[in-house]
Structure 1
Amino acid sequence: MRFANALLVAGMSMIGSAAATAETLTIATVNNGDMIRMQKLTGDFTRMNPDIDLQWVTLDESTLRRQVTSDIASGSGRYDVMTIGTYEVPIWGKQGWLVSLEDLPASYDIEDLLPPIRDGLSVDGKLYAAPFYGESSMVIYRTDLMKEAGLTMPHTPDWEFIGEAARAMTDRQAGINGICLRGKPGWGENIALLTATANSFGARWFDMEWNAQFDTPEWKQTLSYYIDVLNEAGPPGAAQNGFNENLALFQDGKCGIWIDATVAASFVTDPATSRVADKVGFALAPDNGLGKRSNWLWAWALAIPASSPKVDAAKKFIEWATSKDYHALVAAKHGWANVPPGTRTSLYQNPEYAKLPFARMTLDSINGSNPLDPTVDEVPYVGIQFVSIPEFQLIATAVGQQFSAALAGKMSIDEALRNAQALTTREMKRAGYGN
């Protein structure tokens, strides 16, 4: 009996010792549905890795970007895993601020990652962040309202048709807005939409000498179209609506057309969260007859800051969270529709996933995105809904405030464009671009 008790005490001591020596990974992540679901499934990871504890810092998108940017630039080492995107990775990777993920085990199958997504998260051919989900943008619309309006959504619509359909589908008495678009200011909010839209109108942020281009007819046409269609067919208070607000409006049956991230597809077709789940169709993002569609390319990805002292444990977590096995885990627990999209070729080759109504449209939208050639006229930058320079985050947020104010009627379109031109020119000169 004393021997058994001794074994029990020794075993408990070993368990206590393991717990005491467990590494704690601090993970900064964005507050969205896919990331929250992942957190709830991490019991699978900790069972396989009892020597690793997970501590979560879950933030809204804007706060997350501010905090991880501050941490990475200062090298404070506050986070061991960061949720960042295709904007940050090339810039931070070149600075030596991120740990390369090229040595993930062969079973991870880096070659299975979709080429546009992998390229966007690589520097000089080396992967510096693993995609948790990837996205482009597309048209999401109500099939019943489109039919009632006597219209048929093309597979490849243009902006003229979108405007016509949005106005025809608007029913103010019934509380139905013909179109919902991002209006909330921010480089990842209204500027993401407007920059991608501007590409299709022939506009660009800079010419080849890094001169700002907001004083051009193309930008005026872009902003005028956007404000006019939202004033005539959009929801009240559109200038305060971002992705989450428009998602809620669409799920509640209050939007006819929503142009936004492909990742939204699983949310709007889920009967548990969407009142219109069986009345949703999809189309490619609109063009304007100039050879460029207004779809973007983005990935929320997991990366390890070079300041983390827990690189090996962090790689284990990232390998788990972005693997084929994780996809299978989500499918088993929550169904194939809720598997994080847009990252792996194998997902789109899976016959069960291919049955989903949005699978092919998401893949076509991602594969149709080319951040190396985003605009009608030549530009000195890469990036579709952003310009891949460190200064863009600050400048674009300020420009987004001007455009949001114009949408809210606080200033004219001409005034907003003049302000955008002036502040962009000032900040670019201060940063040493151009002459």
Structure 2
Amino acid sequence: MKRVTGAALCALLAGGVTFSANAETKLTIATVNNGDMIRMQKLTDDFTSKNPDISLEWVTLEENTLRQRVTTDIATKGGQYDIMTIGTYEAPIWAKKGWLAPLDKLGADYDIDDLMPAIRSAVSMDDKLFAAPFYAESSMMMYRKDLFEKAGVSINGRLTWDQTLDIAKKLHDPDNGVYGICLRGKAGWGENMALITTMGNAYGARLFDENWNPTFDSAEWKNALSMYVDILGNYGPPGATSNGFNENLSLFNSGKCGMWIDATVAASFVSNPKESTVADKVGFTEAPCAVTCTGANWLWAWSLGIPTGSQKVEAAQKFIAWATSKDYLELVASKEGWANVPPGTRMSLYQNPKYLEAAPFADETLLAIDSADPINSTMKPKPYVGVQFAAIPEFQGIGTAVGQQFSAALAGSSTVDEVLAAAQSSTDRTMRKAGYY
């Protein structure tokens, strides 16, 4: 290394050249455009003030686009991102392929044992954490108590889908801008398929039988998809095939949905008067059953992981430890109130009296998460892990293709029988090509 003398240093400084004691590390973070992630970005001054040598660059994407981009990047070792927002589907598959760095330096005060056991297990391999959960969710029904009362409807126990259909008919009042029900219609394995697969589970269906044969040609799937097309096609908002989580959240918050069955994480937004025009009118209950309640509500966690191609693993672990810590929950509470902290990841949150008092949906959220079992999520035996997905590499492509076919049934461009036959055929080809049978 060439030595700079004192005289030369003075000359350089006189010429306007400055030196930084620590070279800045820039982390590029790919994330989803959900409310909790947007909130995290607004609070990152807390992190950068404590870590002035680290800067953050955000790439915020719609859910389907995020999945496509990060999957392509990590599979091709593209190296575009230092931190990726991934789910309980990707984490174990990518960890097994060696695509994710283990999170083994999150700090002594991180308290990994406070993570919800089911969620921790879903993002671990060989008892090592490969992604840290930012928030976790199941699914549940959010409904307008005032509209239910006006229609003379009361909830006594867990609803069935038949009962939900009857209620949707009573609440549906499009002339006054109120639709009986809002559900995901946007195609995608994590969009409409997340909901429809839990409906399939409730009707006794499964994605694959014990020998990995697809089962979309079954009566159970026909019953589930027929209900989905009937209830959303007749009593949902127009253009439902374009509506995912964010679109339905906007509809519900503006008072246009009598009921909405979706992620439990939505509860804090629909009950927040700063964001929802119906915040004081919202009730919460479990997602509907049909012939069974097994697998009728999903399990998911958005988590932060580090691709093994990143050259900034140490800095990335610092950020992940900050964003998924108990201290981060305290930070959100201090800025936004306890009801708005990211839910579902830490057991201590559901033992915190401040949170339980502020969040009327806390008990229903915990009930839903605890009842979702990725191993035993169908009435008949199955060979895969997952409630609303099958944790195999091929499912991302299968779920996307089938989701598009189901969206066509909702749009009325194909019949239920036609799309189920197409789903069966395309999935069979994929599974044969992959060598499952």
Please name the residue that 2:81 is paired with: 79
Kept in 2, the 8 Å contact 1:185–1:400? The answer is: yes
1:196-211 counterparts in 2 under 5 A?
196-211=198-213
Aligned 8 A contact 2:332 2:340 in 1: yes
Is residue 379 of structure 1 aligned with residue 377 of structure 2? no
Contact 2:106–2:320 (Cα < 8 Å) also in 1: no
Amino acid at match of 2:416: I
Match of 1:17 in 2: 20
Say yes or no: does 1:279 pair with 2:275.
Answer: no
Aligned counterparts of 2:431 and 2:130: Cα–Cα separation in 1: 28
1:42 to partner: Cα distance: 0.7
* 1:388 maps to which of 386, 391, 400: 391
Which residue does 1:3 correspond to in 2?
A: none
Would you say the 8 A contact 1:102–1:127 is kept in 2? yes
Contact 2:298 2:388 in 1 (8 A): yes
Read off the aligned partner of 2:338 and give its amino acid letter.
Answer: W
Q: Displacement of 1:231 after TM fit?
A: 2.5
Q: Distance in 2 between matches of 1:240 and 1:246?
A: 10
Amino acid at match of 1:214: F
Distance 1:139 1:125 in 2: 34
- Residue pair 1:202, 1:218 contacting (<8 A) in 2 also: yes
Runs of 4+ with deviation above 3 angstroms: none
Counterpart mapping for 1:19-418 below 5 A: 21-355=23-357, 356-418=359-421
1:421 match = 424
Q: Is the 8 A contact 2:130 2:305 kept in 1?
A: yes
Q: Normalising by the residue count of structure 1, what TM-score does the alignment of the two structures yield?
A: 0.95
Q: Is the 8 A contact 1:285 1:293 kept in 2?
A: no
SS in 2 for 1:150: coil
Q: 2:111 is aligned with what amino acid?
A: D
Distance between the aligned counterparts of 2:322 and 2:328, measured in 1?
Answer: 6
Secondary structure (helix, strand or coil) at the match of 1:410 reads coil
Cα distance in 2 for residues equivalent to 1:226 and 1:353: 35
Q: How far is the alpha carbon of 1:291 from its aligned partner?
A: 4.1
Computed over aligned residues only, the root mean square deviation of the Cα atoms, in angstroms, reads 1.5
* d(CA) in 2 for partners of 1:373, 1:103: 33
Q: Name the SS of the counterpart of 2:176 in structure 1.
A: coil
Secondary structure at 1:177 match in 2 = coil
Cα deviation, residue 41, structure 1: 0.8
CA distance in 2, matches of 1:278, 1:225: 30
CA contact (8 A) 2:295 2:378 kept: no
Secondary structure of 1:208's counterpart equals: coil
Number of the residue aligned with 1:430: 433
For structure 1, list consecutive stretches of 5 or more residues without a partner in the other structure.
Answer: 1-5
Query: For residues 159 and 113 of structure 2, what CA distance do their matches in structure 1 show?
Result: 33
Unaligned runs of 5+ in 2: 1-9
Residue identity in the other structure for 1:368: S
Partner secondary structure for residue 276 of structure 2 = coil
- The alpha-carbon deviation at position 31 of structure 1 amounts to 1.1
Equivalenced residues, count: 424
1:161-203: CA deviation from partner (whole Å, max 9, x where unpaired) = 2111111111122121111111111111100100111111100
The alpha-carbon deviation at position 120 of structure 1 amounts to 1.0
The Cα of 1:294 is off from its aligned counterpart by 1.3
CA contact (8 A) 1:99 1:303 kept: yes
Q: Deviations over 1:4-61 (max 9, x none)?
A: xx9xx79x987x4136x11111111111111111111111111111111111111111
- Matched residues, percent identical? 60
Q: Is the 8 A contact 1:268 1:276 kept in 2?
A: yes
Partners in 2 of 1:303 and 1:396 — Cα distance? 23
State which drifts further: 128-137 or 150-159.
Answer: 150-159
CA contact (8 A) 1:286 1:293 kept: no
Hey, what's the Cα distance between the residues in 2 that align with 1:298 and 1:398? 21
SS of alignment partner, residue 178 of structure 1? coil
- Contact 1:85/1:301, CA 8 A, preserved across alignment: yes
- Counterpart CA distance in 2 for 1:392 and 1:149 is 41
What is the CA distance between 1:293 and its match in structure 2? 4.5
Partner amino acid, structure 2, of 1:216: S
